[in-house]
């Protein structure tokens, strides 16, 4: 629910035990439109007391409702949410764009992804299956999949709708109760989606809650709570490590989708007409604020000049402006803090390499009000440069080169991260060799950033733990139980 306060700025409330409530702190968080700097919404600055109450309500609903044992109800609830989101797609897209800054076209795509994910896991709710085994002549084992219990989902600000729904859908499909804490920078779109959940009676009262507020306080409280059985976190690697440490004290299950420094490897036999726009989009979509951004391009030396020039032309053609404009190709960064981080990396890139294009804030006219940054390409960096090795979360592409397949593979794997990668070549044998050798959870061949709810996604190394999407994504939210049955023969003595 939202009401309107000063200058018709909406105030969003927590959703717990089926009710919209104010935080006991009596404090609000202000959210600003990153394209204009205008105040966009208020949300609750919740505290540990609010989180504790919400966890209790979710646990009570999980233990007293039929949610965990009624897959048809879960199917109907998730499908109804997909239908509600479809009817509200354009309205939600505008809110997402104002909330986060991305273009309206990207927002429509993100929300379409939410709808597809909900439909997939609605069906999956009715196919949570185990298996049976004949263990001995009179002994049978039944392997049962059951919901874990209460799941805490901590979602990020960069794709705040999809990366929330991507975890919410399988957690609910498996029969769990869920409490969600969205990022404080972008709470509005999450609250709007929960407004739709509140309208669907197939969700039992209290089975899902939304609590907004600072992650250091309420996110940490969720990770520490003995009454939360699992934490799913999507965000930066440093915070993921902290959640692991806190969650270890109660031995709760942890699922993490963390950072990336993903490469696109371009061989001289690649179809550049296809590769260039896809590689460009892979780094400049959402102003580079995406975990799977193709933030490194590793180019065969013989075609480096051509590829760099074409990528430069692509970057300089992009129209960077308010995301609500249909003509915008890239919106602003999410905040002044994020802009400062990106600028600091570009300053380092200028010192250690060559700025091919961009490298600075976009100014003049309406750009002065928002957090706009030029699409940036940096060449000539040493392999150990922070620009090459660290996740920037901005529209910054680092150039690297190779002369052999072995060198290309070494450069691709020379990273603490292993979320995704792209390989561009017309040689199928080479593509398959690299797909086996690259240490990443997803390897795209002659494409990039294609994701489907039925195909698992996740990272190697410091890019995370576990998998989301697909069958494995559903099983992440299940416990496995062995039920052992010994059958007595007729007349057998006990």
Q: Which helix (H) or strand (E) holds 465?
A: strand 464-465
pLDDT on residue 4: 34
Residue 424 has pLDDT above 90, yes or no: yes
**What DSSP designation does 267 have?**
-
What mean pLDDT do residues 386-412 have? 98
Residue 35 has pLDDT above 80, yes or no: yes
pTM of the model: 0.95
What are 177-208's pLDDT values in tens digits?
A: 999 999 999 999 999 999 999 999 999 999 99
Residue 7's pLDDT band (cuts 50, 70, 90): low
Residue 129: Cβ-neighbour burial (10 angstroms; 0-12, 13-18, 19+): exposed
Q: Please compute, for residue 348, the number of CA atoms within 13 A of its CA located in the half-sphere on the CB side.
A: 18
DSSP string, 347-406: HHHHHHSEEEE--SB--SGGGGGTT-B--EEEES--TT-HHHHS---SSEEEEEEESSHH
**Farthest CA pair distance, the chain:** 92
Tell me how far apart the alpha carbons of residues 225 and 215 are, in angstroms, rounded to a whole number: 14
What are 226-256's pLDDT values in tens digits?
A: 999 999 999 999 999 999 999 999 999 999 9
Domains, the chain: 2-258+463-481 (3.40.605.10), 263-445 (3.40.309.10)
**What DSSP designation does 320 have?**
B
What mean pLDDT do residues 389-398 have? 98
Q: Which of 257, 300, 391, 476 is catalytic?
A: 257
Mean pLDDT of all residues belonging to the chain: 96
Residue 6's pLDDT band (cuts 50, 70, 90): very low
Tell me how far apart the alpha carbons of residues 2 and 12 are, in angstroms, rounded to a whole number: 5
CA distances from 99 to 44, 187, 373 (A): 16, 8, 18
Tell me how far apart the alpha carbons of residues 440 and 262 are, in angstroms, rounded to a whole number: 9
What mean pLDDT do residues 17-34 have? 97
Residue 491's pLDDT band (cuts 50, 70, 90): confident
- The percent of residues in the chain predicted with pLDDT above 90, rounded, is 97
Tell me whether residue 257 is one of the annotated catalytic residues: yes
Residue 24 has pLDDT above 80, yes or no: yes
What mean pLDDT do residues 383-410 have? 98
Residue 361 has pLDDT above 90, yes or no: yes
Q: Where do the DSSP E strands lie in 235-368?
A: 253-257, 263-266, 296-300, 354-357
Reading across the β-sheet that carries 177-181, which strands appear in turn? 19-21, 14-16, 208-210, 177-181, 150-154, 230-234, 253-257, 464-465
Q: Give φ, ψ of 353 to 5 degrees.
A: -145, -150
Q: Give φ, ψ of 442 to 5 degrees.
A: -135, 130
pLDDT on residue 3: 39
Tell me how far apart the alpha carbons of residues 373 and 334 are, in angstroms, rounded to a whole number: 11
What are 137-182's pLDDT values in tens digits?
A: 999 999 999 999 999 999 999 999 999 999 999 999 999 999 999 9
Distance between alpha carbon 80 and the CA centroid of its chain, in Å? 23
What mean pLDDT do residues 32-36 have? 98
Kindly state the tokens that stand for 433. 């060799």
**What DSSP designation does 330 have?**
B
């Amino acid at each position: 629910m939202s009401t309107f306060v000063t200058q018709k700025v909406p105030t969003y409330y927590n959703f717990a035990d089926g009710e919209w409530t104010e935080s006991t702190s009596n404090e609000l968080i202000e959210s600003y439109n990153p394209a204009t700097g205008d105040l966009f919404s208020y949300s609750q600055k919740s505290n540990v007391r609010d989180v504790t109450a919400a966890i209790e309500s979710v646990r009570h609903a999980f233990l007293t409702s039929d949610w965990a044992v009624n897959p048809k109800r879960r199917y109907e609830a998730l499908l109804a949410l997909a239908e509600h989101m479809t009817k509200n797609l354009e309205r939600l897209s505008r809110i997402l764009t104002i909330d986060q800054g991305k273009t309206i076209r990207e927002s429509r795509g993100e929300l379409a992804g939410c709808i597809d994910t909900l439909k997939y896991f609605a069906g999956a709710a009715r196919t949570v299956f185990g298996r049976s085994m004949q263990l001995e002549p009179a002994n049978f084992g039944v392997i049962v999949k059951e919901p874990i219990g209460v799941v805490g989902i901590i979602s990020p600000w960069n794709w705040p709708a999809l990366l929330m729904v991507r975890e919410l859908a399988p957690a609910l499909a498996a029969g769990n109760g869920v409490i969600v804490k969205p990022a404080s920078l972008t709470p509005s779109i999450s609250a709007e989606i929960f407004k739709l959940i509140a309208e669907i009676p197939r969700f039992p009262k209290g089975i899902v809650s939304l609590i907004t507020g600072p992650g250091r306080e309420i996110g940490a409280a969720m990770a520490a709570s003995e009454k939360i059985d699992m934490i799913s976190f999507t965000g930066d690697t440093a915070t993921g490590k902290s959640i692991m440490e806190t969650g270890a004290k109660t031995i709760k299950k942890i699922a993490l989708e963390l950072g990336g420094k993903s490469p696109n490897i371009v061989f001289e036999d690649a179809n550049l007409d296809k590769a260039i726009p896809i590689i460009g989009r892979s780094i400049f979509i959402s102003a580079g604020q995406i975990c799977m951004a193709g933030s490194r391009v590793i180019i065969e030396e013989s075609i480096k000049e051509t590829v760099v020039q074409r990528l430069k032309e692509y970057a300089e053609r992009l129209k960077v402006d308010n995301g609500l404009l249909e003509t915008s190709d890239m919106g602003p960064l999410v905040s002044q803090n994020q802009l400062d981080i990106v600028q600091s990396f570009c300053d380092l890139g200028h010192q250690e390499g060559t700025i091919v294009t961009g490298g600075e804030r976009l100014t003049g006219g309406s750009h002065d009000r928002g957090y706009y940054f030029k699409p940036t390409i940096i060449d000539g960096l040493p392999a150990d440069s922070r620009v090459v090795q660290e996740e920037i979360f901005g529209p910054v592409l680092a150039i690297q080169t190779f002369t052999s397949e072995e060198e290309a593979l070494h450069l691709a794997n020379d990273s603490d991260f292993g979320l995704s990668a792209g390989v561009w070549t017309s040689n199928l044998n080479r593509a398959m060799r690299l797909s086996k050798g690259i240490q990443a959870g997803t390897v795209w061949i002659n494409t990039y950033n294609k994701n489907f709810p039925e195909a698992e996604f996740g990272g190697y190394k410091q890019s995370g733990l576990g998998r989301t999407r697909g069958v494995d994504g559903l099983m992440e939210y299940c416990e496995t139980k062995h039920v052992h049955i010994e059958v007595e023969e007729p007349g057998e003595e006990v």
